[in-house]
Amino acid sequence: MLAARVQAIILEAMPKRLLLLIVTPFMMLAIAYMTWPYWAAWVMSHALEQRGLQVRQLVLARPTLSGLAMHDIDIQLADMRFTAHNVSLVWSLNSLLEAKLEALLAEQLVIGLPGPDASAPGPFLVPEPSLLKRLPFRRAEVRTLQVNLPNGRQLRGKAELAHHRLYLDLQEHEQHLVMSTDASGTVRARWGIADAQAIDLSAQWSAAAGQGHLHASCDIDFDILNELLKRWGYPLDLQLSGNGQVTLDMHLPIRAERKEDWLRASTGLVQTDLDVQALRHTVASSLAGTFSWNRGQGAWTWKRPARVRLGQTGQALSADITGAAIQADWRTNPIISLPAGMALNVQHLALGGLSIPQFEIRLNKASELTFSDHWLLKTNLAAVIDIPKAMLNHAHLTSCTSQLLVESEGEQVLGGQLHVQSCRIRHAGHALALSDLASSWRLSGHTLNGSWRLGKVNGQRIPARGEWSFHADRNELKVAYVLPSTAVSDLGSIVDAWLSNHGLRLADGTMQANGEIHRRDDQWMAQGRLKTHHLRGSFRKRAFKEVSATLSWHMQKTSMRLSVHQIRAGLLPGPVPIKNLTCRLELDSKEGLLQRLDIPKCQFSSLGGNIYAKDVKVDRQQPHNPFIVHIEGIDVARLVALEQQQGLKASGKLDGHLPLDWRADGLYLVQGTLQARSPGGIIRYEGTPATRRMGEKNLGVRTALDVLRDFRYQQMRIRADYTPDGSLRLKVHLYGHNPSYAQGRPIELNLNVQENLPALLRSLQTGGQIEHEVQRRLGGE
């Protein structure tokens, strides 16, 4: 009671102003403590925004004697977003007015990385390495760290800071990415599945007001890289293996002012010296140059020709790339500009089992590669392509302008299109102007399926088209083609360029074709069908006409099967002209040698008569393959006219048969017989001045000339034998009379003639050679 009374007396006696002065500070402290989360959040947000961060949300709890809790933090930095939950600052009190930060603890931190559609990067923060030493706390920990990638994937892990060293451990599925950095600017990273399957990276970086620098080197095992990318969802189509080294020097000039321990900068120039060397085993490459980047625009300048090798010792691809700087613009739809004069020199290229020797592609004017959302790649190229003599007799492609489109959806390539607007080819002295060539394709797994069309050749539309496919997993290429019925006059440019050197020219008629070419590794197969109708033209300056045929073929690397289902020809050229040919045949060959021949029926007209054969079967496995050629009504006058012998005329008709036998060493004719039809014919030989001079000296020659001046035969029998060495032996028996010689008594003549048939046929082509041969032989006798 006494104490209460004393307190009441003191309060009554104390002035009211003094009481208010004592109570007010305690009331203000109470109000500040109650409103702390609000005004402290405003102060912190303002400070962060001064450093280039946009604060979306910041929720604080009331401080305690041991620390400060922040419930939710949502911060935007350029195109990156940071969201944190349950963040705590832990401190220790040295005295009533002094606290020391001990640790920064976060239950969860989510970082969202910008996607490819993000706008050009705005201001960003670059920490100095020494910042790790000057942080106000000794330890930091993020128990759950989540990084959201632009493709929708997520990396999860944790982050720790201790002893001035930052440590990150992230993983997705079975992959691990471990990174650490310290105050000296040394960065070490390991990316892999396990210690035995990992790629190590070491780098040294620094940043200060006005400049930055990063130097990194990495030893790569491509087998591990393939597996990592495969699990990440980006398998390499080129199955690289072996190992190599990549060195990167990057300079980052930063034009910005210092903001305490951070450098606040806008998008600036990035300059990179990239050097890829000594990639061994299946990849051996050399690439060195400087890459510069400034506000969405960049350029690549070569230090030396780039060298690329794929496959064991470059068996798949060996190429060098030379040229001036390459320009890039990434501000809207990315555009890469290739300079005129840039060249790709390919020493070797193997695709789908097809081996292509050295060739070169040079850009004869600047070209562009354009990237967009739907079309991953679009390019217009104007190039010169040189293919050496070993390929296509040195074809030279000039002024080749094309457009390439590659279609994508997100990160997946779906297909594309290639359109060649114009291309000029010089081959074997001929010029071809190609235009409007097109091809499109779709990608499914490891398989490309596409279609193509030829377009125009020298201004003439060629309606050839087809489909193609490439199976990368089994190195298999297929090309199918279709040529609808087309006038050969429209194909004249192609025929002249590729076939005229062989003496073939087409003038009229139509043809159509279809088929397929199949290549796998070093094996290839081609099959097709060709149909011609009323072809007219010339072969080695000898005319042919009305050739209609239907044939098919099946070819492999060392063998071929040809089937002529039907062929009809009004006229075929040769030493002995052939008319009205009708034939069906099928043959097999291996390594250029005939293995099997089957001719159900073949007949034609020649020398005024008919020649035909049936059921001809030849098999090289059999020792004998006999068949008979039948001859009906050969006109002796036309046969004699072939020799172009001066002063020789004859008449009559010959019938007979020629028994042929195809043996292992070639074709034999055994006892072939020809005989004249009744009533026979006439032989008149006036001789030449040379033979008549011989007759003045030789009684036998004079007698023969007298008899043959007007010899009327009733019988003519010819026996013929032929061997594969070209030897033709003829035994000719004539029976008749000369009304002006020996009172017209019957005369019998027997002649033995031996000739080399190939030489005889050549003489029939040149004409006049038999006369010289007769003079030589009679003169020798």
Sorting pLDDT into bands at 50, 70 and 90, what band is 226? low
Per mean pLDDT, which range of 292-306, 622-636, 668-682 is the poorest? Answer: 292-306
CA separation for the pair 310, 279 (Å, rounded): 10
CA distance 147 to 91: 28
- The whole-number average pLDDT for the span 253-261 is 42
pLDDT of residue 481: 93
Please report which confidence band the pLDDT of residue 236 belongs to, taking 50, 70 and 90 as the band edges.
very low
Give, for 168, the enclosing helix (H) or strand (E). strand 165-172
So what's the pLDDT on residue 257? Answer: 41
CB within 8 A of 7, min separation 6: which ones?
Answer: none
Residues 178-191, mean pLDDT to the nearest whole number: 77
Neighbours of 780 (CB within 10 A): 6
Residue 446 pLDDT > 50? yes
What pLDDT is stored for residue 756 in this prediction?
63
Q: How far apart are CA 595 and CA 587, in angstroms?
A: 7
Beta pairing partners, 355 = 350
197-208 and 211-221 beta bridge pairing: antiparallel
Residue 490 amino acid letter: D
The C-alpha torsion from 506 through 498 and 486 to 482, rounded to 10°, is 150
The mean pLDDT value of the chain amounts to 72
- How crowded is residue 24: how many other Cβ atoms within 10 Å of its Cβ? 10
Higher pLDDT, 696 or 452: 452
592-611 residue pLDDT tens? 788 888 989 899 898 889 99
Residue-wise pLDDT for 312-357, tens only, equals 555 566 777 777 677 777 666 677 788 877 887 777 776 545 566 6
Confidence of residue 385 (pLDDT cuts 50, 70, 90): low
> In the predicted model, what is the mean pLDDT of residues 681-699?
79
Amino acid 443: pLDDT: 81
Residue 530, helix vs strand vs coil:
strand
Please give the Cα distance from 630 to 610 (Å, whole number). 8
Residue 423 is encoded by which pair of tokens? 């291309």
* Alpha helices (H) along 81-218: 131-134
Give pLDDT, residue 630. 94
Given a cut of 90, is residue 260 above it in pLDDT? no
Q: How far apart are CA 173 and CA 154, in angstroms?
A: 10
36 — pLDDT class (breaks 50, 70, 90) = low
Q: What is the mean pLDDT of residues 678-703?
A: 80
Confidence of residue 643 (pLDDT cuts 50, 70, 90): low
Which of 27-41, 134-148, 166-180, 752-766 has the lowest average pLDDT?
752-766
For residue 361, count other CB atoms closer than 10 A to its CB.
19
pLDDT in tens, 99-108: 676 777 888 8
Residue 585 pLDDT > 70: yes
Distance CA 587, CA 596 (A): 5
pLDDT at 672: 92
Residue 629 is predicted with a pLDDT of 92
pLDDT tens digits, residue range 88-98?
Answer: 777 776 655 56
507 CB-contact burial (10 Å; exposed 0-12 / middle 13-18 / buried 19+): middle
Assess whether pLDDT exceeds 70 at residue 587: yes
Q: Which two tokens stand for residue 125?
A: 């923060």
Distance CA(499)–CA(216), nearest Å, equals 58
- Better-scored residue on pLDDT, 485 or 706: 485
Q: Domain boundaries in the chain?
A: 610-781
Q: Is the pTM of this model over 0.85?
A: no
3 state DSSP class of 597: strand
CA–CA gap between residue 338 and residue 299 (Å, rounded): 10
